[in-house]
Structure 1
């Protein structure tokens, strides 16, 4: 039924639950998991850090890439003792668009498994803006994890 499942991770507690659930579904349906983390190219410089030339934006991008690598390595570790097929990628792009349309089309995805909200504490109260966008624009089923 679900042969290819997209599992976007952001390193939040919700995304850890997301990966556990993806593992269960993947084993049940013999699915291939497409584990990804997305780096938004419009990285903002943290408040209070005055940019000096391009130093602050470059450092912010390097930090984002290191964080993305850590998220993927953590996912590999979490799935390492299971007989689950998984592809791991770090993608650069607009997060909501990559999850809702670009990655599903590129990888022939059957299901998107996404957390209700990500790291933003304000979004913890309601469905996050990325999740809402994905629900509204995806052309494949979306399973939202609480």
Structure 2
């Protein structure tokens, strides 16, 4: 059984990774980890409690929506705060992930072609990274 990590960021574009997985893998062949990472900027003297709570609730709702898209598959959800690239790499190493499936960026330019986070993951992952076109 393959372990697949799918980072989602709340955009419809990132949800295409889930459709891609359904097209090429049968439910009995994969275990799927879906991760959502919220990056927070902390400023001295400002209470971030409300933003942290709202971000956490939004992330968990997003992950549940993703789970519903993969009905019939074994799916684990993971929400965290941090830098997306670092957290994706950390999670892939901790959980012995076989494949990371990400969508490409819609921006123009070489680095932006796949996105800075995807580029970071490609350079640092110890597993296969599949990039799904839009």
TM-score normalised to structure 1 length: 0.77
More strand by share: 2
| 1:54 matched residue in structure 2 | 46
Shift of 1:28: 7.0
Cα distance between partner residues in 2 of 1:16 and 1:52: 35
The correspondence for 2:81, drawn from 87, 92, 95, is 92
Q: Counterpart of 2:107 in 1: which secondary structure?
A: helix
8 Å contact from structure 1 (residues 4, 109) kept in 2? yes
8 Å contact from structure 1 (residues 22, 33) kept in 2? no
Cα distance between partner residues in 2 of 1:52 and 1:98: 24
**RMSD, matched Cα:** 2.2
* Per-residue Cα deviation, 1:74-124 (whole angstroms, up to 9, x for no partner): 1122122x2x1111111233210111x21111111000001112xxxxx62
TM-score normalised to structure 2 length: 0.83
| 2:126 matched residue in structure 1 | 139
Structure 1 unmatched runs, 5+? 46-50, 118-122
Q: How many residues align?
A: 129
Structure 2 unmatched runs, 5+? none
